[in-house]
Amino acid sequence: MPCFRDFVGVLVLASTVAGAHTDQSSQESDWMHHARIAAYGLTPNNADEIVRLAGESHVNAIEVDNDIPGRYESFVDPQEKLGALRKLASAAHQAGNHAFVYIAGTECITADAGKTPHTLAKEHPDWLQRKLTGEPAVFTGGSAFWIKKGDEDVWISPYAQEWRKIYMQRVREIAGTGIDGIYVDIPYWMTHFTGWEDSWASFDDYTVAAFRGKTGLNARKDLKLGDFNDANFRKWIDFRIQTLTDFMKEIDHNAKSVNPKIATVAEVYPGIEEEVVRVGADPYQMYAVLDTIAHEYEFGEGDHRAAARTPLDWFKYQVGMAAFRSFAEGKPSWILNYSWDGEEKVNPKSSMENLAMSQLMVGANFWDAKGHVMSGSNDLPTRKRIFSWIAKHSDVFYSPRKPIAPIGVYFSPSTRNYFAKEFIASFRGVMILLLEKHLEYQVVTPRTLTRFAGKTLVFPDVRVLDDSEKAALRDVVASGKRLIVTGTDATGLAESPNVLRIPDDPGSAYMAALERDFATTTPAAAQRFLEQIHSEPAVVIDAPPGMATHVANVNGKTCVFLANFTGLRSRETADQTPQGGVRISFPGTSADVLQVLPFLGEPATIKREVSSNLISQFLLPPVNKGAVACLGGF
């Protein structure tokens, strides 16, 4: 769903705040990776107050709304809001902060539309997105909770050139205020309001003409909407995704034409699932043209609030974020999700902690908000405590994570686009299996295939590959790496000792078993598949399957990030069952000590339990919510 807004302002990202990490210079030079995000409302006179409040709660990423193109009044005349941005940018820079402004993507609201002849829909009806039947994307109060009674809410075609010209002019004007970045929300095709879910919009004249120019097809007549076997509908899918990616790329270009250092951010709710195809905003594609993405990630189904998640939901969440970190290719990943919204039996403090812990262990940035909006906090003292702790230990979580001896799992955007249900089930099943079995993984994509560092690569029911992917695969196999093809085989590879084909698709089978009964399904259910992987791990982890683990080289040190979801029950308890007896072994080393940092705790040095020239083994203290353990310290 689109981002939730209940305020007016801009995004401020402070790089110098109370409680900052001792290595302050590293955070100042790379503030986007170290962002601790929260939201405040901006007025023309409260910039200093915003910066002060942010410092008091260890926030160095304050997002508030000062939407110029998404409000018709300021889209037409932006001067008042531009003035407010200049004041804020000046105040933020004087305090050593960075400032980002929120703007809408393809949505625009006119306040009190019934009282004025000057609304976007009235003055520019040709700009609007439309269903195949011609119905325009015009909505009123009640269509979404951020649309007030009497307001007009419209969704605009990215191909409406007059609108786009003015929009990019506003982007350049915003960049000229001295603001450090632009945060674009909801750059979507209208398919997420009631009655529009299956519209596959937009069929306005501008968009139809653009599609004809690219493909020679008439989108109103030559497509079988919703039929993924129809070649022309697939072209429509690709066209819609490329359109929004190009739109964001143009925003980035226009902003940087005024200020080369300005950052561009997109907020999207689709993650890795079918929603990407429906709304057209693909994080995989957009990471390549932006500085980062803020994910309002809902993992496709279920209740996405931390207080309502089941352990299986938490594992799906880990998989989605792990994919984002791969898509980003070294760029940061910001997560706007929600911890608690009035669940009576669940502690909001513990829910906030679970949300932060789950994101940190994957290397993503935490955004705390109150209820189901963007601003505020469910418990401000808890946020202060979390952000203070993150600030002290930011480098271990946000420094680059390099693979050591991973098992690769291929994410195929094209397969997801056309066979979302089948592919995501297979991909998730393999990923959760590796997380539960505590084996090092690496999510591999078409952009990173040639750089895969491991010895075994799993293709989970990958059904669509282009020529460049097939050529890269041939090189992978020729180099001696092992390829395991599960489910459908689209590789076109000849028979080889390095290619193992498993038609039964163990990933989907394991995912189906988890969905039926997560509590009793363990990696033993896929033991034969695990044996076929032939893993040679750099780290051996003995831990229960209710704990997800992530292994990486961080700053030259082998680190294990542990996220414990054992004992969590949806809307019943947000308190985990602490897990004792967790052992970590490092083959081929004779190290004496391991440093362990419990989530929200202090570092502890653990002496080896077993050590020889062949292996060092350590017994961890009981793990409550989560922890990170690094050989050689932090």
150 and 283 inside one domain:
yes
Burial label, 466 (beta-carbon count in 10 A; 0-12, 13-18, 19+) = exposed
Q: What is the pLDDT of residues 332-377, one digit of tens each?
A: 999 999 999 999 999 999 999 999 999 999 999 999 889 888 888 9
| Domain end position, chosen among 271, 296, 321 | 296
Edge-first strand order for the sheet with 138-139 is: 107-110, 152-155, 138-139
Query: Is residue 554, in this structure, part of any structural domain at all?
Result: yes
Which of 231, 266, 296 represents a domain boundary (last residue)? 296
342 located within any domain? no
Same domain, yes or no, for 432 and 484? yes
Residues recorded for the chain? 634
B/e letters for 60-99, b = 16+ CB within 10 Å, e = fewer, are bbbbbbbbbbbbbbbbeebeebbebbebbbebbeebebbb
For residue 313, is it within any domain?
Answer: no
* Number of separate domains in the chain: 3
pTM metric for this prediction: 0.94
Whether residues 521 and 590 fall in one domain: no
Q: Supply the Cα-derived Rg of the chain in whole angstroms.
A: 25
281 located within any domain: yes
- pLDDT in the model for residue 92: 82
- Beta strand spans in 214-352 (E): 263-268, 292-295, 333-336
The predicted pLDDT at position 244 comes to 98
**pLDDT value of residue 97:** 80
> How far is it, in rounded angstroms, from Cα 169 to Cα 175?
10
CA-wise closest residue to 104 among 268, 228, 220: 268
**Sign of torsion, CA 413 414 418 424?**
negative
pLDDT value of residue 447 = 98
Contact between residue 100 and residue 182 where contact means Cβ atoms under 8 Å apart? yes
Rounded Cα distance between 408 and 431, Å, is 10
CATH number at 32 reads 3.20.20.80
Kindly state whether residues 238 and 263 are assigned to the same domain.
yes
Q: Which one of 502, 533, 564 terminates a domain?
A: 533
| Residue ranges making up the domain that contains 525 | 407-533
The single-letter DSSP state of residue 145 is: T
Residue 307 within a domain: no
pLDDT tens-digit readout, 232-286:
999 999 999 999 999 999 999 999 999 999 999 999 999 999 999 999 999 999 9
Determine the Cα angle at 419 with ends 451 and 358, to 5°: 60
- 515 and 546 co-located in one domain: no
Is residue 581 located within the same domain as residue 504? no
| d(C-alpha 123, C-alpha 54), whole Å | 41
Is residue 320 in some structural domain?
Answer: no
Both 501 and 547 in one domain: the answer is: no
pLDDT beneath 70: ranges in the chain: 1-29, 64, 300-303, 611-613
**Residues 492 and 626 occupy one common structural domain:** no
* CATH number of the domain within which 580 lies: 2.60.40.1180
Q: Are residues 486 and 583 in the same domain?
A: no
> Alpha-carbon distance 372 to 508, whole Å?
32
> Looking at the structure, do residues 557 and 415 belong to the same domain, yes or no?
no
Kindly state whether residues 439 and 485 are assigned to the same domain: yes
- Checking 247-254 for CB contacts under 8 A at 24+ apart, the result is 247/105, 247/106, 247/158, 247/164, 247/187, 248/184, 248/187, 248/286, 248/289, 248/290, 249/289, 250/164, 250/168, 251/168, 251/171, 251/182, 251/184, 252/289, 252/290, 252/291, 254/168, 254/171, 254/172, 254/175
Q: What CATH number should be reported for the domain holding residue 514? A: 3.40.50
230 and 166 both lie in a single domain: yes
